[in-house]
Structure 1
Amino acid sequence: MKPAAFAYTAASTLEDALRELAAAPEESHVLAGGQSLVLEMNHRAVRPTRLVDINTVPHLGLLQTDDAPDDGARLRVGPLVRHRAFEQPVDEGPLGRLLALAAHCLAHPPIRARGTMLGSLAYAHPTAEWPTLAVTLGAELDLRSVLGHRTLAAEEFLAGPFTTALAPGEMLTEARFPVLPSATGVAFLEHRPTAAGFAVLSVAVALRVADGTVVDARIGLAGAAPRPVRAPAAEGLLTGRPPTDEAITEAAAASAETVADPPADPPAGIPFRQHAVRVLTQRALHRARDDLTERT
């Protein structure tokens, strides 16, 4: 099929883009990579009357690390940063490694060459890689419109399958990921039926260890719930203990209890998802521990 008729505008500045969105906020969509949007337009699942192309807006390809005044450095990502930018580590430490692991899981090279991280966050597929990492790491997201600016945590922004906190006329303009301390082991694993499709389940892990003891454990799950979630019970079982095989096995079992009201597509029942989450979490925790061991 072909998309329904629409008007097209190429914005020259961010302010210009926001004004265009405000002119018809309920019917307008932002075009950056278009890898999900154009497909849905062709299927007529969405029918915007106006597309606002931001590819001609300067400075939206921002990708840099800045120091925050209160709580450490942040990796800043603009709305025109393509998936492929993360295939090689953009940070020398564990954050760069974790983003690269996820990037290589994402679709296939042509999609990664055009699609954008912020477009994936705005699309909010329940098992997509970037939303999963944003929730796992506690990323902050900036939203702008002609009415002003606000910042939301990723957990607040991602409301459910294909549902976000974006208001009509609003645009996602930046994501900020905390730079992970050097003594952090990371891992990212997925279960998906085809190389190019979305995952059924995925697990992201960041495990920080000091003096042989886990001082911060982050376990993010996609496919266990309607949107990416953390596994707090599993994280609590690891924190304050050495990352032994026994602790990892207990944490993996606890992560399976996070499965509740999972996505229905592709069909996979709760017992399967609980088993798969336990197995993937156990593997990911072992890999994160190995990742840390290799660098210390």
Structure 2
Amino acid sequence: MSPHLYTDCEQCFGLCCVALPYGKSSDFAFDKASGTPCPNLRSDNRCGIHTQLRQKGFKGCTVYDCFGAGQKLSQVTYAGRDWRDHPESAAEMFDCLPVMRQLHELLSYMNEMLLRPETSSLHDAIRSVYQETERLTDLEPSAILRLDIPSQRAVVNDLLVQGSELVRAHAPSSSHEQGNSKRKKLKGRDFLGANLRGTDLRGASFRGALMIACDLRNADLRHADLIGADLRDADLGGADLTGSIFLTQSQLNAARGNSRTKLPAHLNLPEHWL
């Protein structure tokens, strides 16, 4: 995965800690309005409780991933001009973050497809759309705020759907008929609390699926499509996710797992799993 599509808080002005709102819940200890700095944000743009976020009631912060949008805005779009020192541009900078994040998320998915040999027939088309999307990230702030993101997402999604079909078609077939039968019966998008423990889910599509608190322990999810799947509190202990597509660090951070969980090479085991 391209380095610029990974979050680098050292190069960011703590934008997510200011721009984004949140409400008191199991994910956040109190309410915060958009544009208001989190009380835990220090003057050097670092989190004062970074190593204790979950213990202090800020699980939501450990789940967020900007796909590198924060440092792009901080160091490129605004050329290193901190919102603290340039308050006149603060509101605009904060408004740009959600837009830039969506663009970087699309770039991340396309980058993943460009690294997959199964999608080689689509690489030229993907590169063309990738370059256009990347050009959009280099626009001036006012132009970024005028972008039609749903239209751009629709163009990218068409390629991602095609890529998903190619990757999943290469999923190894199961030698266990019972596993195959159970996989074929999977329908819909609602797997809330479902018991899929030990199930053969190779090549399955969970695009946009609700998988909150789903039991996926020791499940075989190789070559599965997990784009947009809600994995909050899903148990991935011992699951095999190698070769799965469109899985993000944010999804993993929201889930549960252990040291036996197998992940794609570009993703890391969350600290709270170990």
TM-score interval, smaller chain: under 0.3
TM-score by length of 2: 0.24
TM-score by length of 1: 0.22
Query: Would you tell me which structure has more strand in proportion to its own residues?
Result: 1
Q: Which has the higher contact order (CA 8 A, sep 6+)?
A: 1
Query: Would you tell me which structure has more helix in proportion to its own residues?
Result: 2
